[in-house]
Structure 1
């Protein structure tokens, strides 16, 4: 029997992400921790927040943009809190060869064993595209339109508990 889920909405305002449930109740708030070099004029908290919340679809974590490059919070929230999916608002600049959004997000989701729901600022003049739904198995759907400024609603069926991988430290012997 098909199950209808009401997926939480997310919004980003001044590097603070908020998540509401289907009834409009605030269920999570996350403030960006790792600032990108041009953002050094902004205030940021001295300690990172590890934010998770439960839904009928599974356990979610959330972090923002440049946070994905740091162990804390990106790896910590996945590894220590055993989340199934990550909400990821971002203003990602697609730069080849290593920082193209679609392959980077796909590799990150696969390596971490979680669903990554990436919502990028769609600004083609700054090469900010690549919103998508990425899973450990495959790229489910993405939006990489460099011709127009129009956005797109992305929908996909996902496993609620993908193949989460436990991260271990690599020792140098």
Structure 2
């Protein structure tokens, strides 16, 4: 791809916590054949098929997760509080009739998990059921060791609000007889390539449908200085289809500058809607999050919903709604320099036809500059 497509409309904005909602035009009647050995590439057309056009309301959340360690609560307390925060904003998004909300990379476990020894690090991880089970973890009994507590909270949140939730977390997958817990409500298999430690850790996006079921589990393939994680390898894992007849492909942060999975799924299967979680580190001059994201959206002609981790003092920010499928040059990124609660909405023209809302959390004190 021409690099220029990635560098258009570079802009930089600062926000504290925001929730962007939009009504997007999406391609309808998608036919996905994931077992096709040589899938035909689908080229984007600038023209809309008005008769088959689908509209949906999507939301992206940018915030700084809770990250305070305590010996009593360990990582489990961090997971618990951040999962509840995501559910709280899912409820707000639903108030604006959102169909889907995306949360940021490390939005459940926070960055603090990387500052611990192995024993403590593992308390920031969660077991995730295979999407083929369509398991509603909300229906499962409480688990005393907190192995899937955050998954249960998110499952119950999506069920209660009847909204799709895309969350990112650190996934624990046992692969040896010693590590596999037979008391879980789902089963794991012994794997031949299992490391000596007996488990894998993945950087994982998990998708919950309106009924609270886990319907997708994508493991980040292109890791960025993440030695404790194992890279995923399956592009089809990143694809899910909603009840509003829109197919999405997932991607996490650094995936955006690689072929797999997003670029490949767009080109091979004609998918036009991408849900991305990121904890992007802005790097001058050209690796600013919103410039790369806008270029990806416009260059491929896709709707890109990006949820970013908010930590501007370390260069982490950059969420947005990018409407490349409509070939609309405007993008959504809102900020409030005073960090006061504010709700703003606007309706754009025919080609984009979407709305957004920005809100902040006024209960938290304004952060002082370092």
Task: Work out whether residues 5 and 57 of structure 1, in 8 Å CA contact, stay in contact via their aligned partners in 2.
Answer: no
Question: Higher relative contact order by CA 8 Å / sep ≥ 6: 1 or 2?
Answer: 2
Q: Is the counterpart of residue 65 in structure 1 residue 221 in structure 2?
A: no
For 2:344 and 2:268, the matched residues in 1 are separated by 29
Q: Counterparts of 1:93 and 1:62 in 2: how far apart (Å)?
A: 19
**How many Å separate the matches in 1 of 2:261 and 2:267?**
10
Matched, 1:88 2:276: yes
Matches within 5 A, 1:47-66: 47-50=233-236, 51-55=238-242, 56=244, 58-66=246-254
1:44 aligns with 2:137: no
TM-score of the pair, normalised by structure 1: 0.76
Tell me how far 1:12 sits from its aligned partner: 0.4
* Partner Cα separation in structure 2 for residue 152 and residue 44 of structure 1: 39
C-alpha displacement at 1:152, in angstroms? 9.3
1:6 aligned to 2:99? yes
Q: Secondary structure at the match of 2:229?
A: coil
Distance 2:169 2:258 in 1: 21
In structure 1, the partner of 2:300 is 112
Higher Rg:
2
Unaligned runs of 5+ in 1: 161-173
Note if 1:29 corresponds to 2:217: yes
CA shift digits 1:128-147 (9 cap, x unpaired)? 11111111123431246688
Which segments of 5 or more consecutive residues in structure 2 lack a partner in the other structure? 1-54, 57-96, 101-163, 171-202, 355-370
Task: Please say if 1:138 is aligned against 2:333.
Answer: no
277, 289, 311: which is aligned to 1:101?
Answer: 289
Question: CA 1:130–1:154 in 2, change beyond 3 Å: closer, same or farther?
Answer: farther
Separation in 2, partners of 1:10, 1:153: 23
More helix by share: 2
- String of CA shifts for 1:82-140, please: whole Å, max 9, x gaps: 11210000110112221111121111100011011111111112111111111112343
Write out per-residue CA displacement over residues 39-93 of structure 1, whole angstroms, 9 at most, x where no aligned residue: 1342223x33332111215111001111111112221111112112100001101
Distance 1:144 1:59, change over 3 A: same
Q: 1:153 & 1:62 partners in 2: Cα distance?
A: 28
Task: Quote the Cα distance in structure 2 between the aligned partners of 1:119 and 1:74.
Answer: 15
Q: 8 Å contact 1:10–1:19 — kept in the other structure?
A: yes
Mapped partners of 2:262, 2:166: distance in 1:
18
- Give secondary structure in 2 for the equivalent of 1:80: helix
Work out the number of aligned pairs and report it.
Answer: 156
The 1:141/1:57 distance shift into structure 2, 3 A limit, reads farther
CA–CA distance in structure 2, aligned partners of residues 22 and 97 of structure 1: 41
